[in-house]
Amino acid sequence: MVTLDDVRRAARAGSGIVRETPVLSSRTLGERSGGEVVSFVREAGYETRVLR
């Protein structure tokens, strides 16, 4: 199981290397699809995924 300390350690390790990507979510699409729908905002557009 991943702990909060694991997440914090990974964040420190990627600091200055990994770029944050804004994430948008859609409750309506999530309800219709039966999962969580998120869109990753990228320089060239959006990348949408349904998380189950």
Give the model confidence (pLDDT) of 2-40 as tens digits: 999 999 999 899 888 877 777 778 888 888 888 888 877
pTM: 0.40
Phi/psi at 37 (5° precision): -105, 125
pLDDT in the model for residue 2: 92
User: pLDDT band at 50, cuts 50/70/90?
Assistant: low
Instruction: Please count the structural domains in the chain.
Output: 1
Residue 32 lies in a domain: yes
What is the distance between the alpha carbons of residues 4 and 50, in angstroms, rounded to a whole number?
A: 24
Cα 21 to chain centroid, rounded: 8
Alpha-helical regions (H) of 1-43: 4-14, 27-33
Q: Which residues contact 37 (CB under 8 A, 6 or more apart)?
A: 25, 26, 29, 30, 48, 49, 50, 51
Residue 14 lies in a domain: no
Residue 39 lies in a domain: yes
Residue 12 lies in a domain: no
- The range of the structural domain enclosing residue 32 comes to 20-52
What is the distance between the alpha carbons of residues 22 and 9, in angstroms, rounded to a whole number?
A: 21
